[in-house]
Structure 1
Amino acid sequence: MRRVKTFISLVGEEFRLHFAFKRRYFFSTITTFVSNLIIMGGIILVSIPSTSYGYDVQAVLQKSNATRLIGFLYFFLGMSSLGLPEGAVSTARQLGTIDNLALSPLGLTGVIGAKFLPSYVGCLVETLIAVILLSLAFGLRVMWSFGPIVLNSVIAALGMLGLGYVLGGLTIRFKQLGLVKNLLFVLLFALGIMPMGYDSAEGLSRFAQFFPFTQGLIRTRHALLPESAGTISIPLWLFMGCSAALLCLGVLVFRRFERQSLRQGTLGSY
């Protein structure tokens, strides 16, 4: 019970620090937001249909751009959750606080878990504002409904956090895995902007549909885009189960590497 109270208190403190950082470095926050907005807008801009294509081709390209908006949202959320454990391990190692965090009541695993909700909320709000602005600017048809967005994205983000824990555990063991993390980011980006139609059962393997990131993306597109309604999708309970299983696996892997390195005295070494 004491650990639960400590965890809740730490989550509240992480929220306070997160928003204090945003206020303290407001210009940097705005610069990052505008940069991401320009990048997303540029990708959509190069796909804007010409009137010479004809109505049918224009309609298909507009639908494809609408799916990309949802993909952008999931890409940034997935990248934030996936990179959280590895980033926390690297930062704590550089600051020399990693051993103290590992010896705390929550352990390094719990400290990283407390950072998840503030990171998720901050990323969701910023990215959602950006994609809504882009949908209005380019006239893309999206039926914005925040319930499905929050429900599906938080389940998917927890699954990606589990994968991030695996990456963080491997970082503890092998010290530097920046290339692997960047390759995973590229994969998430490719999945996020894949053309419309590739999220159907015919275009995406059944195994890939059980992956929390792709399943959350599929379900959100079905909820927000009228053209995607009725497409095959796995049940919600199975989606939640796959995400929870990946999260538990990630925590177990991370804890094993954390305890092993702590016993050997190599947790803070490069």
Structure 2
Amino acid sequence: MAAPTETSVTLNACCKVNLFLRIICRRSDGYHEIKTLFYPLPEPHDSLLVTPLTAGSGLHLTCSRKELETGSNLVAKTYAAFASRTGFSPGLSIHLEKRIPTGAGLGGGSSDAAVLLAYLNDLAGEQALSTADMTALAASLGADVPYFLLHGRHGKPALATGIGESLFPIQVDLDGYWLVLVCPPEHVSTPWAYGAWDRLYPEKTCSEEDLAILTATNQEASNLFCPETTALGNDFEAAVFPAFPELAKVKDELLDRSAAHAVMSGSGAAIFALYRDADIAKSAQLAFLGRSVPAYAFPLPCWGVAKW
């Protein structure tokens, strides 16, 4: 890790939960049509300490988790993709402090990619990409990267349709709730989770009629999301919980502790719950922390990375 200098900058990458996630069908190209609502959270968050190096030095990546110091890390892939697309490849030392667990459905790698993309584009001057080109590049890196690039890093929720690439701002009314996020030690692979869902629902392939109704309208996207009138849920749970019964136990415990709702995020393994009472929410958090299971509690609406 290079020593920080006066020109070093720290980029903070938030995480997200999916307030709901519906898998509509499997497409002929192997991708899945979904509908989901991304909601950003400030914790846990990753940090990228970026220190300029001499021109021509390329990227030197270190990480608090040594096994992630590889070319397959999304930070390295993002740097390489941006350099290939624009010809801009500044010498950078990046130290990634990894706090968002992998395999948790919280989008940590995608968030890292998004904040680095925005940083590189700000530096690129005449070689900078347009918003449309940036979004396309983000989508090539991962399905969740466009969300973090356009909305998540600004602390904003968004509705996503298609394979997750069609994004629409949406108002979310969670005022007065507390959110408790629990991060069990289990890691769930997203490709595995989709494969498990396919095996559970082999008949759910997309028809032309399915594809015709999946595009959200601006009117739909501007509707107010409220948990009192909108069902929270995650279609991955039916496929993931049988293989990871400990995750189902976490959800059951949160509900037993008087949560109004409890839902797995993304393809797992993190579980979040909404509470109407702050003391009960904090008590639930402390119960997991007492067993050394990472857990976070936030009053909602909570500030995301907009204040960073």
Q: Which has the higher contact order (CA 8 A, sep 6+)?
A: 1
TM-score (norm 2): 0.26
Would you tell me which structure has more strand in proportion to its own residues? 2
TM-score (norm 1): 0.29
